[in-house]
Amino acid sequence: MSVRAWLGVYLRGAAMGAADAVPGVSGGTIALITGIYARLIDAIAGLDPRTALALLGPSVRTPIDADARATVRDELVAMDVPFLCVLGVGVLSAVVTVANVVQYFLDARPVATYAFFFGLVLASVLVLADTVSLGTPRHVAAAVVGFVLAFVASGTAGGQLPTGPVTTFLVGALAICAMVLPGISGSLILLTLGQYDRMTGAVHGATAAALAGDVGALGEHATTLVVFMAGALVGLLSFARVVAWAFEHYRTATLTFLVALMTGALRAPLRLAFADVATLNVVVVGRFILLALVGALVIVALERASGTVGY
């Protein structure tokens, strides 16, 4: 691939990262719009940790074995690892930038920010509504379970999850499964579980500590982010395959479950938007509705750009 082509992959990754940092907008949708979704899924499905470990020996062997290293390079290219690496750098660079912006607005304008998130999620539900089926008891059960799980998790209990490394690891594993699906947002999973503010705060704190040269604070925030990314890697290599299996064998039921999950998760931005509002009045509610409409328009624009947000 040429430098221009690799730059295009990086920019697509940056667009995916920016989307993944915002609840209601899926990086998978951006991958679909920009034409790399099929390649992304094939590359993820083709990742084999055992093969990678087997290749590690020849790649570091001394004295240098040129033929062995050429074989390693060819195998990595065959698994499309360079594509995933460049795309991943784009995702991470955008996530850091957008997360800092989001954290500022969460601190300065919480009602407006959560209203915008509410509109994003609601419009995503409406866009995916035609994928829902309630024609069989199995599909009804999937919808009920998805809605109840998200609704309960979106309550105050979701914000009371422990903040230790085990929780961070598991949340990372769950979030990454949603991030690779069009229409389903990984950040929405974080928001539903009460971990979104914490993770964007970790990104913001790590950035601020790095700029200030505060090694202690940087280490604390970086540890949280490393554990989260470790969970995401495990989720990408394992849980995401479970999701893919569910789509292959129970496509309609899985879609119904996911859309119901998003519907139940609407409780999270609604609850958080008014959590610290002393008095509800027409102005506050009107501002919430206006910003929610702006968020909804973003999803409508993405849907128009992609033709359809599908799987």
Closest CA to 305 of 65, 30, 27: 30
pLDDT over threshold 90, residue 50: no
pTM over 0.85: no
The C-alpha atoms of residue 172 and residue 162 are separated, in whole angstroms, by: 14
List the domain boundaries for the chain: 3-306
Per-residue model confidence (pLDDT) at position 310: 47
The C-alpha atoms of residue 177 and residue 244 are separated, in whole angstroms, by: 9
Per-residue model confidence (pLDDT) at position 311: 44
**Of the given ranges (153-162, 221-230, 274-283), which has the lowest mean pLDDT?**
153-162
Per residue in 74-109, pLDDT (tens digit) is 777 777 888 889 998 998 888 888 888 888 888 888
Contact 198, 163 (CB under 8 A): yes
Q: What are phi and psi of 171, to 5 degrees?
A: -65, -40
Per residue in 6-38, pLDDT (tens digit) is 888 898 888 888 877 877 677 777 776 677 777
Torsion of CA 110, 111, 114, 120, to 10 degrees: -140
Summary mean pLDDT of the chain: 80
Contact 173, 189 (CB under 8 A): no
What single string gives the DSSP state of each residue in 238-277?
Answer: IIHHHHHHHHHHSHHHHHHHHHHHHHHHTHHHHHHHTTT-
Q: DSSP label at 235?
A: I
For 228, the token pair is 């989260």
> Counting Cβ atoms within 10 Å, is residue 242 exposed (0-12), middle (13-18) or buried (19+)?
exposed
Per residue in 146-202, pLDDT (tens digit) is 899 888 877 765 556 777 888 899 989 888 877 666 666 778 788 878 888 888 889
Per-residue model confidence (pLDDT) at position 22: 79
